Structure 1
Amino acid sequence: MTASSKEDLEEFTITFRREIVFYLRQLINDGTQTNIMFNEGSDTILTVLLDVDEEKGVLVFDWGGSEETNRRFLKSERNIFIARPNGIRNQFVTGMPWETTHQKRRAFAVKLPDKYVRLQRREYFRLTLPMTQRPPCILQGQDGREMTLEVVDIGLGGLALETPSLTIPCETGQTFPRARIDLKNHGILHLDIVIRHVAELTKGKKQVVRLGCMFNKLSPAQDNQLQRYITQVQREERAKQGL
């Protein structure tokens, strides 16, 4: 891993214990399968997380299917856990495991990780934005006229826009170069947007037009700018919930 990629990874690294426990419990509640890589990546175990004890600082997970692999795992001092719920890469590293029991069955246990990394996969993840944090997106038509829409969800692959009515033509397959999204503290994001679908929706007593859009060839700098914005919104929302 290069120095720059390590810096990028740090942007999405969680160190607050309560927040780490929150995401571990999500994996437990969803029964998400988790891969454990150890022995310098030459061995793997497929498992599910079973329990997390925040007070004791212990994570419990299922016993492996191969006793030979289990024995090697019990001697491993560095273990990388990777899960991908909803296309979001969750990753953390632990020290040496030990054998325990969970509901009268054999299981592994490790100390809780000090760091927890969450990386979004561009193909699937979309963050639904709260009403108070929906940035404006400005599209410019071929005749130079501009239309401001509200961003209702966003991910590294695209976004959804809403407006009471269209003031410039928008059709499926149409590309809007030089679109601008105001990400507040993270600056103005300039990019090309491709319309994937157009739909009229009823929200309460109001009619709105929703545009489903994809981004066209984001640069690494644009990726990073957008990822930082998404991460900040998520952290602010978790803080409101006391997480």
Structure 2
Amino acid sequence: MNIALVTGASRGIGRATAILLARQGWRVAINFARRADDALSVVAEIERQGGSAFAIQADISDEAQVMAMFAEIDRQPGALTALVNNAGILFQQTTLEQLTAERISRVFATNVTGSFICCREAVKRMGYHHGGSGGAIVNVSSAAARTGAPGEYVDYAASKGAMDTLTKGLSLEVAAQGIRVNGVRPGFIYTEMHADGGEAQRVDRLAANIPMQRGGQPEEIARAIAWLLSDESSYITGSIIDAAGGR
């Protein structure tokens, strides 16, 4: 059975993606950093629906924990052929004037460095040159990479811009190794992440500025991710889908 690793899968877009991939026949590795109960509830939901999943704890900002996570996946039946780099963090809304080096470093450690390390380990398992059978990687970026998130999360937006560059560069590096690398840029999606920034109702406040006049649901982003992992997108690599209601 093919294994799909979804980082940050205990809630939001990661949770919706994990459940959808399991329905499509993947054995899903549910990565989480701290929310063990939430991660186990995702596993339970997948198993209730007849799918296969397992939870695996790792803070992806820590290289040693990422290495241990991939070693645990290696011990599972099946082979890793899909990676969804979904885990990401942001902090209280603020202007750049108030940012500290410590906050910027924490955001980049998870959103950028963690994604790079996960890609590195995935390529070592998927690439033809390592004896793999190929695979697909989807990096979950953000529309903030295009807008810059002024007055709110310029550090977060910059980290997602880096993920877009990773998507393009890595796609060219590994195309001949049977690995496709694409991205999805969600817009205003109803997830708990907005509460992390201090405004749980942020999507409702900004919905009128979205051409489609509404925020998105995690399941809508999950469908885009699942498509990019599927054979239906077999000739697509280095592309990024904007899933932001036209914004």
TM-score, normalising length from structure 1? 0.21
- Greater helix proportion: 2
Query: Which structure shows the bigger proportion of residues in strand conformation?
Result: 1
> Which of the two has higher C-alpha Rg?
1
Q: TM-score, normalised by structure 2?
A: 0.21
